[in-house]
Amino acid sequence: MHRRQLLIAGGSLMALTATAGCATGSAMGASAAAGSLEEDARVARAVLPMQTPRAELLQPWTGPYGGVPPWDKVTAAKLREALLEGIELQRADYNAIADNADAPTFANTLVAMQMAGEPLDRAGSLYGVMTSNIGSDDYNAVDTELSPLLSAAGDEISFNAKLFQRVKTVADNADAMGLTAAQKRIAERSRDSFIRSGAALDAAGKAELGRINTALANAFTAFSQKVVADENTWTVIPNEAGVAGLPASNKTAAAAAARSRNVQGWAVVNTRSSVDPFLSFADDRALREVVWRKFVNRGDNGDRNDTNATIAEIVGLRQQRARLLGYRNHAELRMQDTMAKTPAKAKSLMDRVWAPAKARVAEEVADMKAIAGYDIEPWDYLYFAEKVRKAKYDLDQNQLKPYFELNAVRAGSFAMAERLYGFQFKKLPKGSVPTFEPDVEAYEVYDKSRDGRLIGLYYTDDYARPGKRSGAWMTTYR
Across 144-159, average pLDDT: 98
Across 57-83, average pLDDT: 97
Q: What per-residue confidence (pLDDT) applies to 27? A: 39
Quick: pLDDT tens for 319-351. Answer: 999 999 999 999 999 999 999 999 999 999 999
Helices (H), 20-75: 37-47
Quick: pLDDT tens for 193-234. Answer: 999 999 999 999 999 999 999 999 999 999 999 999 999 999
CA dihedral 355, 359, 360, 364 (to 10 degrees): 150
* Lowest mean pLDDT across 8-22, 28-42, 72-86, 379-393: 8-22
Q: What per-residue confidence (pLDDT) applies to 10? A: 31
Return the percentage of the chain with pLDDT > 70, whole number: 93
Q: Cα(194)–Cα(173) distance, rounded to whole angstroms?
A: 17
Question: Which is it for the CA torsion 397, 399, 400, 403, positive or negative?
Answer: positive
Comparing CA positions, the residue from 1, 60, 4 lying closest to residue 27 is: 4
Q: Which residues contact 443 (CB under 8 A, 6 or more apart)?
A: 425, 426, 427, 428, 457, 458, 459, 460
Quick: pLDDT tens for 258-271. Answer: 999 999 999 999 99
Q: Cα(467)–Cα(222) distance, rounded to whole angstroms?
A: 14
When pLDDT is cut at 50, 70 and 90, the band that residue 148 belongs to is very high
Q: How would you classify the pairing of strands 266-269 and 234-237?
A: antiparallel
Domains and CATH numbers, the chain: 25-229 (1.10.1370.40), 233-296 (no CATH), 326-402 (no CATH)
When pLDDT is cut at 50, 70 and 90, the band that residue 465 belongs to is confident
Quick: pLDDT tens for 1-35. Answer: 333 332 223 334 566 666 554 433 333 444 344 44
When pLDDT is cut at 50, 70 and 90, the band that residue 427 belongs to is very high
Query: Is the pTM value of this prediction over 0.85?
Result: yes
Quick: pLDDT tens for 37-53. Answer: 899 999 999 999 999 99
Quick: pLDDT tens for 91-143. Answer: 999 999 999 999 999 999 999 999 999 999 999 999 999 999 998 999 999 99
Q: Is the pLDDT of residue 240 over 90?
A: yes
Burial class (CB in 10 A: 0-12, 13-18, 19+), 83: buried
Q: Are 335 and 343 in contact (CB under 8 A)?
A: yes
